[in-house]
Structure formats: structure tokens, C-alpha cells
Chain A
Amino acid sequence: MELAFYIAGAMAVMSTILMLTRLNVVHALLYLIVSLLGVAVVFYTLGAPFVAALEVIIYAGAIMVLFVFVVMMLNLGAPAAGIEKQWLTPGIWTGPVLLAAILITEVVYLVRIGASGASTGAVDPKQVGMVLFGPYLIGVEVASMLLLAGVVGAYHLGYRKVEKPEIQHDADTNERRAAAGGDLVLAGTDQPARTP
């Protein structure tokens, strides 16, 4: 059990790091899904199988799929990777890494001084269900309203008025993209490339 915890944990972290550094969006998404699966395993080893299942179904299954849909809809393509490469200079990492490092040390320190070494125990899904229908009932209702709001908002924001005819993407989209000159900004439109 312990071994599974550590391996899954390490895999999740590795996968996240890999996700961060990818140039291609879809690759990063896939790495993120792997990371989420690793976290699910961690949950299972901690004795929360219900949560593990939820993680897989909702997080990796719904949310990430949503991401993939949107990315596909945006139709970014190969030129995007080039631009990402431009943006990710080595120097850009220094500040945030420093900040994150300080944060990690602080949190670890906090955890250390507060640690009392008690063991982890499993918590039944049944217990979780009883708590949900008991004290946290209102929270559940509010969460459902939040999801409703999310649905409405997403529909409204994603609505597109049809003012001009949709650009038909046919077989020679690759040529189109090449004609756009590798500009992420103009990829997918018919305008000529601007100099970046």
C-alpha cells in the first residue's frame, strides 16, 4: 500500500512537471490526465475509494474532456508550438520557481512542526454519504445551484451569432495553415500573416 502511494505520488508529480513544459497543448492535456489518474490512485491508497472514483470520472473524465473539446475547436495546430517555444525562455522560470520554492519550504515547515505522526485511516463511502445528507445538505444544494449557473453561463458565453458565413474548413486546411505563415494568431482565418 505504502509503495503504491509513493509510486503513484511520484508519477503524479512527474507527470505534472512534464505537463508544464510541453509546447503542444494536446500533449500537455494528456499528461495532465495521467497526473490526475495518479492522484486518483493516491486517493485510493489513502482509504478514500469513493473520492478516487469521483476523481477519475469527473475530473479526468469530464473536465479534461471539456478541455480537449475546446482545444480541438480552437484548431490551433502546428504553428502554435513554435510560438510557445518563443514564449518559454529559460529566464522566465526563475521568478516563479523561486516563489514556489519559498512557498514549498514554508508549507513543509508548517506541516513538520504540526505533525504528530498519527496514522491514516480509511473513511467509508457510507460515512461520506451520511455526512453529505446530514450536516452538509445545504452545501450540496448550493453546489447544484452553482452547477446550474455554470451551465447557463457557459451556454450564454459560448453563444455565437451567425453574422458572417462560417469559414469552411475542407481538405486543404493544412495548406491554409501553412499559408497563414505559422502565426498562431491568424491560424484558422483567411487573413495573411502579420509579422510577429
Chain B
Amino acid sequence: MFSLGLTSLLVRRNLIFVLMSLEVMLNAAGLAFVVAGSRWHQADGQVMFLFILAVAAAEVSVGLALVLQIYRRCKSLDVDELSEMRG
């Protein structure tokens, strides 16, 4: 799932898709944590997943707000358009 998310991140140019693939990656990481917690019979895995969830929520809200701003500024959702820090 992680690598799927990674692939999608690298391929898609639409900003929404980028954020969605980020979610997929986060989810995959959380899954790995829960599996590990279950395997070692500890609650820490689930706790980690909880934190990841909280982080993902915060990140999504801020990220989507940024998407709105970018859309207002550049009238486009193309990730490649946002390359002003070109060197």
C-alpha cells in the first residue's frame, strides 16, 4: 500500500490526488504499526496508529486550506506550476 501510495504521489499532477496518495501512505504506515503491535501483543501499535490518525487529520485540514489558497492564486491545481523555487 505504501509503495502504491508512493507511485501515485510521483505520478499524478493534480494536487488533490497528491494529497490523497499522501493519505494512502499514512494509512499504510498506520497499518504496519497496528500489525506490529498485534504481533508483539502490545498496545503501543494501536496508540501509534491513533497519533498518526491525529496527525493525518491536522495535516489534511491544513493541506486542503492551502489547496484552496493555491487554487485562488494560480487558478490551477497542477503541482508542476508551483515551481517558483526553481534553481
Q: Which residues of A are at the interface with B, using a C-beta cutoff of 8 A?
A: 12-13, 16-17, 19-20, 25, 28-29, 32, 35-36, 39, 42-43, 46-48, 50-51, 54-55, 58-59, 62-63, 66-67, 70-71, 73-74, 76, 80, 84, 87-88, 92-93, 95-97, 99-101, 103-104, 107, 118, 120-123, 127-128, 130-132, 136, 139, 143, 146-147, 149-151, 153-158, 160, 184-186, 189
Contact = CB atoms under 8 A, between A and B. Distances in A.
Nearest to A151: B61
A96 B58 contact: no
Contacts of B1: 12-13, 16, 39
Chain B interface residue count: which class?
A: 35 or more
Interface of B: 1-14, 16-17, 19-21, 23-24, 27, 31, 34-35, 37-39, 41-47, 49-51, 53-62, 64-69, 71-72, 75-77
Contacts of A95: 10
Determine chain B's interface SS by DSSP, over half rule.
helix
Given A43-B34, A95-B10, A154-B62, 19 more contacts: A20-B8, A39-B27, A42-B31, A43-B31, A67-B16, A67-B20, A97-B7, A100-B7, A107-B2, A128-B43, A131-B43, A131-B44, A132-B50, A146-B54, A150-B58, A154-B64, A154-B65, A157-B68, A189-B75
A93 B11 contact: yes
Contact of B47 (A121, A131, A146, A149): A131
Given A157-B65, A158-B68, A184-B76, A132 B7 contact: no
A74 B77 contact: yes
B47 A128 contact: yes
Contacts of B35: 46, 120
